[in-house]
Amino acid sequence: MRILLTGRTGQVGSALERSLAPLGQVRAFDRQGLDLCDLKSIRPKLRSEMPDIIVNAAAHTAVDRAEKERDLAFAINSLGVQELALEAKAIDALLVHFSTDFVFDGEKPSPYIETDAPNPLNVYGWSKLEGERAIEASGCRYFIFRTSWVYAPGGRNFMHAILAAAKSRPELRVVDDQHGAPTSSLAIAGAIAKVLADPGLADKASGLYHMSAGGETTWHGFAEAILEARGVVTPLVAIPSTEYPVAAKRPKNSRLDNTKLAATFGIALAGWREGLAAVMRALD
Ligand SMILES: NC(=O)c1ccc[n+]([C@@H]2O[C@H](COP(=O)([O-])OP(=O)(O)OC[C@H]3O[C@@H](n4cnc5c(N)ncnc54)[C@H](OP(=O)(O)O)[C@@H]3O)[C@@H](O)[C@H]2O)c1
């Protein structure tokens, strides 16, 4: 099986490069090797590689910067993805893609299911939603996995930001009115490897799935667990989102219902605390 992976330098991409290796020949590309902004380069690249599966872990994920970089966010998250999907259709490859809880406005009082109506609050969310729609319209075989609050042993993420800030500040103020499940790149990459281990499923189960860690918390709860895991005693203060102004609005409810994933693939990601423990072990 030939697998083409984009975004190999990212949190999810780097974990996937390892987890997919036992499944076949993985050809992993960084931004220089396959630039989603360079639409004209995508077709020749895919035609020369002729993968059975395209796994797209590349994205513009800087949520606040996207408010100012609208064109770039849409170029990568919508237009580049559309080109990948059209090409997947043309060469009959399966497209595996990732999307986000930020396609929702967070007003629902319970976890979101796949058929809930999206209504993004920010440019990043809109650009990701347009990417989803382009895939669905392309006619290719696909899996879209919406996940949430991704972090990893490496890379820039909330976990590292909290650990760094705790070293330099007398106290940390973290929002406690956004609810979701921090999901580790390792858990995502492990689950994708399980899904792709059964090639027949792609024909039967093509579609959109929610894939987040079990349980739920707030950013404050996550920060507390991170500091506790490292034995850091810097005081944590819970604050409302209104006291932490950022460029992009975030949904209050980022919780994803993973029932469809479990029913289709028999896969459930571990609880977020277990996921954090595994990432902490990877740091040691
Ligand atoms: N991070 C989250 O909290 C979160 C939450 C929900 C869903 N997701 C989704 O999960 C997926 C993986 O996210 P992640 O956290 O692993 O992202 P990430 O760590 O920010 O990695 C993004 C990857 O995309 C690459 N990239 C950026 N622009 C590109 C371009 N024009 N062409 C090709 N590659 C490009 C980056 O390369 P460089 O290293 O060169 O920049 C990097 O390898 C994405 O679809 C994201 O939308 C993420």
Per-residue pLDDT reduced to its tens digit, 120-166: 999 999 999 999 999 999 999 999 999 999 999 998 899 999 999 99
- What angle (nearest 5°) sits at the alpha carbon of residue 168, between those of residues 166 and 174? 40
What is the mean predicted confidence (pLDDT) over 35-58?
97
What is the mean predicted confidence (pLDDT) over 98-124?
98
What is the mean predicted confidence (pLDDT) over 111-118?
98
Report pLDDT digits (tens) over 173-212. 999 999 999 999 999 999 999 999 987 776 678 999 999 9
pLDDT of residue 253 exceeding 80, the answer is yes
* Phi and psi based region of residue 259 (left: phi greater than 0; alpha: psi -120 to 50; beta: remaining): alpha
pLDDT of residue 242 exceeding 90, the answer is yes
Percent of the chain with pLDDT over 70: 99
- Ligand 1, atom 8, lies closest to the CA of 100
- String of DSSP letters for the chain: -EEEEE-TTSHHHHHHHHHTGGGSEEEEE-TTTS-TT-HHHHHHHHHHH--SEEEE------TTGGGT-HHHHHIIIIIHHHHHHHHHHHHT-EEEEEEEGGGS-S--SS-B-TTSPP--SSHHHHHHHHHHHHHHHHT-EEEEEEE-SEE-SSSS-HHHHHHHHHHH-S-EEEE-S-EE--EEHHHHHHHHHHHHT-TTHHHHH-EEEE---BS-EEHHHHHHHHHHHHT----EEEE-GGGS--SS---SB--B--HHHHHHH---PPBHHHHHHHHHHHH-
Residue 92 is predicted with a pLDDT of 95
Residue 36 is predicted with a pLDDT of 97
Taking Cα atoms as reference points, which of 27, 46, 57, 31 lies closest to residue 84?
46
Residue 176 is predicted with a pLDDT of 97
Percent of the chain with pLDDT over 90: 95
Q: Hey, which of 5, 61, 159, 192 would you mutate to test ligand 1's pocket, going by the most ligand atoms within 8 Å of its Cβ? A: 61
pLDDT of residue 217 exceeding 90, the answer is yes
**Known active-site residue 124:** yes
Q: Hey, which of 4, 12, 183, 279 would you mutate to test ligand 1's pocket, going by the most ligand atoms within 8 Å of its Cβ? A: 12
Query: Residues 112, 124, 151, 209: which is the catalytic one?
Result: 124
Residue 198 is predicted with a pLDDT of 84
Residue 204 is predicted with a pLDDT of 76
Residue 200 is predicted with a pLDDT of 75
- What contacts 279, CB < 8 A, 6 or more positions away? 151, 152, 153, 159, 184, 186
The residue to which tokens 């979701």 are assigned: 180
**Domain coordinates of the chain in residue numbers?**
2-155+183-213+256-270
Kindly state which CATH superfamily the domain 2-155+183-213+256-270 is placed in: NAD(P)-binding Rossmann-like Domain (3.40.50.720)
Q: 167-193: b or e for each residue (b if 16 or more CB lie within 10 Å)?
A: eeeeebbbbbbbbbbbbbbbbbbbbbb
Mean of all residue pLDDT scores within the chain: 96
Q: How far is the CA of 59 from the centre of ligand 1 (A)?
A: 4
pTM (2 d.p.):
0.97
What is the mean predicted confidence (pLDDT) over 84-88?
98
Report pLDDT digits (tens) over 3-44. 999 999 999 999 999 999 999 999 999 999 999 999 999 999
Contact at 8 Å (CB) between 219 and 165? no
